[in-house]
Amino acid sequence: MGNGLLQSIADNVVFVLVCVGVAVGLFAIAYAAEKYVYKRDGITERILSTRKITMIGLFSALAMILHIFDFPVLFLAPGFYKLDFSEIPALVGAFAFGPVAGVMIEFCKILLKLVVKGTSTAFVGDLANFVIGCSLVLPASIIYMFKKTRKIAVIACLAGSLVMAVFGTAFNGVYLLPAFSKLFGMPLDAIIAAGAEINGNINNITSFVCFAVAPINIIKSAAASAVTLVIYKPLSPFLKNAHVPAGRKAADHVKNVTQ
């Protein structure tokens, strides 16, 4: 019994360290990309200005509300897989305020959700939502940051959606499902069997993530991208007019807002 307890503690410590490492890595990528563009464009303000932090808080709250109202998609996957549209505020915020803001919105969303609702998946689902959400928001916002036009926004959303579909599927199969099985105490065979009851093509981890997980990620990314592309242009003047980065020429800023 003592050995089992120690193993459980060790498993949770390893999982927490993985969560911290992933979060730090994502922040580092976002910061490096944004710092490069700031240097290229001669922007002198801080990446996290007071206004940005305020807007990150607002978008995080909106994302948390959408995340709380998640729901199972029982015709695609077992009930512990749920669909939500919390990536919409994160993607809009990332387009408006940069990749660092996007990652912070995803991170704060999860913290707020844990405070309000707790976890039902031994924190594995929460890590999944954060990492896979960032796999859409981060590449899309980095691409858009380099050239803010309507065409690039579409390309950015398509690229982010592709990364989310591929990475989210692989990350589930390689790490998240085994971690969920170990921490939640549900054998992998039982998870696969639950998927097989919904889709007869599911008979192993690979087919599970391809037929159950990938469709959910595709739906999430497509919905977030479509809504963002529709609402971002009308919202962008409001979001940006009071936030002209120091060092950037006013004419350049006006051009970015109107494109």
- How far is the C-alpha of 150 from the C-alpha of 154, rounded, in Å? 6
Q: What is the pLDDT of residue 246?
A: 52
Q: Higher pLDDT residue, 123 or 46?
A: 46
Question: How confident is the model over 97-154, as pLDDT tens digits?
Answer: 999 999 999 999 999 998 888 877 767 888 889 999 999 999 999 999 999 999 999 9
- How far is the C-alpha of 194 from the C-alpha of 142, rounded, in Å? 38
pLDDT at 11 exceeding the cut of 80: no
- How far is the C-alpha of 215 from the C-alpha of 225, rounded, in Å? 15
Q: What is the pLDDT of residue 57?
A: 94
Write out the CATH class of domain 2-248: mainly alpha
Q: Average pLDDT, stretch 72-97?
A: 92
Burial (CB count within 10 angstroms: exposed 0-12, middle 13-18, buried 19+), residue 214: buried
